Every structure is written in C-alpha cells, then in structure tokens.
Copies of this chain bind each other. A is one copy, B any other.
Amino acid sequence: MARTTGSHSDITGPRIREVAMRLFAQHGYAAVSMRQIASGVGVQAGALYNYTPDKQGLLFGLMREHMEELLAARAARDVPDDPLAQLEDFTRFHIAFHMERADAVFVSYMELRNLDAGNFATIESLRSRYEDELEAILQRGVAVGLFSVPDSKIATLALIAMLTGVNTWYRTGGRLSVQQVETIYWDMVRKAVAP
C-alpha cells in the first residue's frame, strides 16, 4: 500500500539523478543547490545524502554513467567490414545516441571544469576511449586509400565536434526526423574525409 513517508530507496535514487541531471543542464552545477534538487524530488535536502556522499559525487556519478553507457552502446554494435561502412555506422550511432540524451551530453561537456582532479581524469579517459574508436576507423580508411585526412587526430575531433553540434539546434518534434538528420550529417562527413 502507498505511503507518503518512509522508505523509498528503489525510486528515490533514480529520481535524484534524473532531477539533478535536468537542473544541472538547465542552470549549471554551481547554480543549482542541493535544496533545489531535493525540492524537485519531493524530499528534504538531508535525505539526498543517503544516496550521494556529496554534491560533487552526484555530478561525477551522472557523468560517469553517461560515458559508460556511451561506450557500452557502442561496443554492443555489430561492426561492418569496410571503413566506409564503419564511418557511416559511427556517424549515425553518434547522432542518434547524443540526440536522445541532450541533458547528459550538455552536462558531461559543460561541467568538466567543476570536477575534482581525480574525477576529471576518469571522465577524460572514458572520453578518449570513445574518440579512439573513430580515429581507428579513419586510420584504417586512410591506409587502404578510402579516406584522406590531413591529420587523423584533428579530423577525429573535428568530426565529433560537428556531430555533437546537432544538440545545439535539434528539438524533438521539429521538421526533421532523427534519421533525416543522420543522413544530412553523413553526407558531410563522407565528403569531408574523401580522397
């Protein structure tokens, strides 16, 4: 039977992360207080500390979870054989994954400077692993003459910046579907690395 007070450990934890992610994305980590988060969840501020050691830990947990989901979703994909198909797959995957998680993407980029040094290093290492996947695709394509890029590391960062930029303008319910956006960007990516 329903209770309005008492134990709710299985739903309060996820609710805190959900509310915190939304508020951090909207106003920024430093601008959001633990009281605001608690109020959004429907508990008192003190209750939050049953789920996180402190505010920093809450932010870090959100960012690490996002990066790990990104790597897991990527690893779960069947990788095509040739570099061109791999690049198209990466492009479509990146856009679809990031468009569905606008808040997490925004927070994971904007709040890097608010992470403790150790937490920052952890997140950066996860991000590097993701970038390395794209760079490997580009390098294989260059090796077999399918692609030509001036510098594989810079091309990697340039393409990721371009693709993630979708998040600055795309709004669900607009004139374009996710697949249409994927196709538009894939056209530019394909040509950008063409020989």
> A residues near B, CB below 8 A?
26-31, 110, 113-114, 149-151, 154-155, 157-162, 164-165, 168-169, 181, 183-185, 187-189, 191-194
Having A151-B184, A154-B185, one finds 6 other A-B pairs with CB under 8 Å, namely A110-B110, A154-B184, A160-B165, A161-B168, A191-B193, A191-B194
Question: Do A188 and B149 form a contact, CB below 8 Å, given A162-B162, A165-B158, A168-B161?
Answer: yes
Return the contact of A113 from the options B28, B113, B165, B193 (Cβ within 8 A): B28
Main secondary structure of the interface of A (DSSP, over half): helix
Contact for A158 among B26, B185, B193, CB less than 8 A: B185
- Indicate if the CB atoms of B157 and A169 lie closer than 8 Å: yes
CB-contact partner of A187 in B29, B150, B187, under 8 A = B150
Query: In chain B, what residue has the closest Cβ to A28?
Result: B30
Minimum CB distance partner of A111 in chain B: B28
A190 to B, closest residue via Cβ:
B192
A165-B157 contact, Cβ under 8 Å, with A30-B28, A150-B188: yes
Q: How far is the CB of A135 from chain B (nearest CB, A)?
A: 13
Query: Measured between alpha carbons, how far is A64 from B168 in the docked complex, in Å?
Result: 20
Question: What is the bound-complex CA distance between A30 and B164, given in angstroms?
Answer: 25
**Alpha-carbon distance A36/B187, docked complex (angstroms):** 48
In the bound complex, residues from chain B placing their C-beta under 8 Å from that of A151 are 184
Which residues on the B side are within 8 Å of A169 (C-beta)?
Answer: 154, 157
- Determine the distance from Cα of A28 to Cα of B114 in the docked complex, in whole angstroms: 8
Residue of B nearest to A112 (CB): B168
CA distance A150 to B194 in the complex (A): 17
**Do A157 and B168 contact each other (CB < 8 Å), given the known contacts A26-B113, A31-B114?**
yes
With the chains together, A160 CA to B188 CA distance in Å?
A: 13
Q: How far is the CA of A125 from the CA of B194 in the complex (A)?
A: 35
Give A84 Cβ to nearest chain B Cβ, in Å. Answer: 15
